[in-house]
Amino acid sequence: MATIRKRVTQAGTKYQVQIRKKGYKPVSRSFNTLKDAQTFTKDIEAKMERSVYQCANDAEALSFGELAEQYLNEILIHKKGYDKEKYNIRPIIRCLKGYKLINIRPHVISTYKKDRLQEVSPSTVKRELGLISRILAAAEKDFGIYLPQGNAATKVKKPVETSRDRRPTSNELELLKSDKIVGNYVVLAIETGMRRGEIVNIKPEHVIGNNRNLLLIPETKTDIPRTIPLTQKAIQAVDFILMARGRALNIKADSLSQAFLRACKRHNITDLHFHDLRHEATSSFFERGLNIMEVSLITGHRSLSMLQRYTHLKPESLIDRLNG
Query: Which one is predicted more confidently, 306 or 232?
Result: 232
What's the pLDDT at 72?
Answer: 92
* Catalytically annotated residues: 195, 221, 275, 278, 301, 310
pLDDT tens digit string along 151-194? 999 999 999 877 777 889 999 999 999 988 899 999 999 999 99
Whole-number average pLDDT of the chain: 85
Tell me what the mean pLDDT of segment 3-21 comes to.
86
Is 0.85 surpassed by the pTM of this model?
no
What's the pLDDT at 123?
Answer: 86
Residue 24 vs residues 28, 51, 52, 273, 320: alpha-carbon distances, Å = 12, 10, 11, 56, 77
Query: Which one is predicted more confidently, 135 or 228?
Result: 135
pLDDT tens digit string along 241-288? 888 765 555 577 888 888 999 999 999 999 999 999 998 999 888 888
| Stretch among 55-69, 218-232, 281-295, 302-316 having the lowest mean pLDDT | 302-316
What's the pLDDT at 6?
Answer: 87
